[in-house]
A = this chain, B = another copy of it.
Amino acid sequence: MKRFLLPLLVISLSFMPQKKTRVIFFGDSITQAAVNAGGYIVRIDSMCKKEGMGDKFEFIGAGISGNKVYDLYLRMEDDVLAKNPDVVIIYIGVNDVWHKASSGTGTDADKFERFYNAILKKLKERNIKVIMCTPAVIGEKTDFSNQQDGDMNAYSNIIRSIAQKNGLPLVDLRRAFLEYDSKNNPENKDRGILTTDRVHLNAMGNQLVADAMWSVIKGK
């Protein structure tokens, strides 16, 4: 009898629906817009299917406009943990820097780090894989003369350092955007290359983010 068991098991497995890897994109308005047509999450989903991995991944957007790192921390129970993701991609930081100038309600660097680490701790406790991202740009000028360039570099350094300390994969969007702009923005414009308005992504920006993220996600 035992001889017959193995073939049967193999057959039954091949018909069982595979459990998909659930990926949550956790961020601000840039991520909120990414589930719309042309958005980077939609693009990742398309690439995934095109590469024949549509049955292996499931993508969920969890971006809310105006969010800073502490807003992610506050809503992570409801918007992330409750959904039992396998992977969470954290893409935050623009508002933490930007709101200092625009409304006086940015996030101090030391607290940015503290809340980021608190988010990681909770995800780790649940054995959820994490992919970290640096915030891309507030302004696309290539000579570091965008008002927030100093802070954008500083907060990106914080994120790089956290990723390294925790051995976590990093999608270094800031580096990628700076490199792309340095080659493709000869007129030193502040928008229009990868963003529509200095911050939010145009088609090319969404594709760049999708490419960078997907290459890391599919390794998970």
A residues near B (Cβ < 8 Å) are 70-71, 73-74, 99-108, 111, 114-115, 118, 139, 143-154, 157
Q: Which partner residue on chain B sits nearest A112 by CB separation?
A: B105
Residue in B105, B114, B150 whose CB lies within 8 Å of A149: B150
Tell me whether A105 and B103 are in contact in the complex, defined as CB-CB below 8 angstroms, given that A74-B70, A147-B154 are known contacts.
Answer: no
A211-B14 Cα distance, complex, nearest whole Å: 73
CB distance from A115 to the nearest CB of B (A): 6
A188-B150 Cα distance, complex, nearest whole Å: 14
Q: Which 8 A-B pairs have the closest CB atoms?
A: A149-B150, A100-B104, A145-B153, A145-B154, A70-B70, A144-B144, A147-B150, A105-B108
Most chain B Cβ neighbours within 10 Å, of A118, A150, A152: A150
Once the chains bind, are A103 and B108 in contact (CB under 8 Å)? yes
CB distance from A160 to the nearest CB of B (A): 11
